[in-house]
């Protein structure tokens, strides 16, 4: 796949709630994911599809998504693109609803995503 095809496929899958399908189809087996801040009980960096799926498991276990949007893709040839995520949700354990915005920068090699990096917007308070 070419850069634009990978970018469009990931953006479409995220908009349709099919992120897990994208992991299997669009990511290289050794892909690296880097969060803006350390994950609870872990670090900022996760490697491999199973590790990235574990991040999705944690998110789904802890948060309910009530709305949101995916902007992009924004291409940076020859090998990168970005998406901007706006997520509305609430903690499943109780608490206030939130609006989270982040930029995700993806690096593509050999037609697969090999690295994703998330940049978080500061939260009020």
**125: confidence class by pLDDT, cuts 50, 70, 90:** low
pTM of the predicted model as reported, rounded to 2 decimal places: 0.93
Residue 70 lies in a domain: yes
Residue 101 lies in a domain: yes
Residue 24 lies in a domain: yes
Domain limits for position 105? 3-120
Residue 125 lies in a domain: no
Torsion of CA 104, 29, 10, 120, to 10 degrees: -10
CATH number at 104 reads 3.10.450.50
Q: For residue range 60-94, what is the model confidence (pLDDT) as tens digits?
A: 999 999 999 999 999 999 999 999 999 999 999 99
Q: For residue range 15-45, what is the model confidence (pLDDT) as tens digits?
A: 999 999 999 999 999 999 999 998 887 789 9
């Amino acid at each position: 796949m070419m850069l634009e095809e990978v970018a469009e496929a990931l953006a479409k899958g995220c908009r349709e709630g099919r992120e897990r399908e994208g992991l299997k189809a669009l990511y290289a087996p050794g892909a690296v994911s880097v969060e803006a801040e350390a994950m609870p009980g872990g670090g900022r960096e996760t490697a491999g599809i199973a590790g990235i799926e574990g991040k999705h498991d944690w998110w789904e276990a802890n948060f309910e998504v009530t709305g949101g949007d995916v902007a992009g893709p924004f291409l940076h040839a020859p090998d990168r693109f970005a998406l901007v995520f706006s997520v509305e949700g609430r903690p499943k354990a109780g608490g206030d609803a939130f609006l989270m915005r982040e930029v995700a920068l993806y690096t593509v090699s050999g037609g697969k995503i090999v690295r994703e990096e998330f940049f978080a917007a500061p939260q009020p308070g």
